[in-house]
Amino acid sequence: MKNSLYQLCLDFIEQRIKTATEALLQAQEASNDDTKSSAGDKFETGREMAQQDINRNKQLLADAQQQKALLLSLKDIGKTPNIRNGSLVTTNQGNFYISISAGQLSLQGKTYFAISAVSPIGKLLIGKAIGEEFTFNGKTYSVIEVL
């Protein structure tokens, strides 16, 4: 189960990397085209906007690559008594895969939330063990299983 969730997260982050790479290439091409055909103030404004696009896409790509590196470091994390990065956690309020923020995932008819250890609920989960409880958004969560 955990391996399948890992693969879904890996697919998610690889798609983000692909999208960011394509957007970066398009922004760079647009910048090159703009510098060939523009003049004056319009040129400066267009070039600045293109540069902002390039910078934003470079940042998105760097963030996605960083998340992929984190995910790859979790590949062979085994079962531990306390929740940590790489844990698959079952609570009375839902199932959580502590890895990267990939949102809601469906697998074999069950719903899982792939969350980062630094997300608000991730911070509350880290370190907990079976039987421990915590409150988040007015709901009490009880840890049932840690894989």
pLDDT 10s digits, 84-112: 999 999 999 999 999 999 999 999 999 99
Mean pLDDT over each residue of the chain, to the nearest integer: 91
Question: 104 phi and psi, to 5 degrees?
Answer: -80, 130
Which whole-number Å values give the CA distances from 145 to 4, 19, 32, 106, in the listed order? 18, 35, 54, 18
**Which 8-state DSSP code applies to residue 20?**
H
Would you say 98 and 122 are in contact if contact means Cβ atoms under 8 Å apart? yes
Domain locations in the chain? 2-73, 88-146
pTM, entire model: 0.85
Cβ of 9: how many Cβ atoms within 10 Å? 23
pLDDT, one tens digit per residue, over 38-59 is 555 555 677 788 889 899 999 9
Q: What is the identity of the amino acid at 56?
A: R
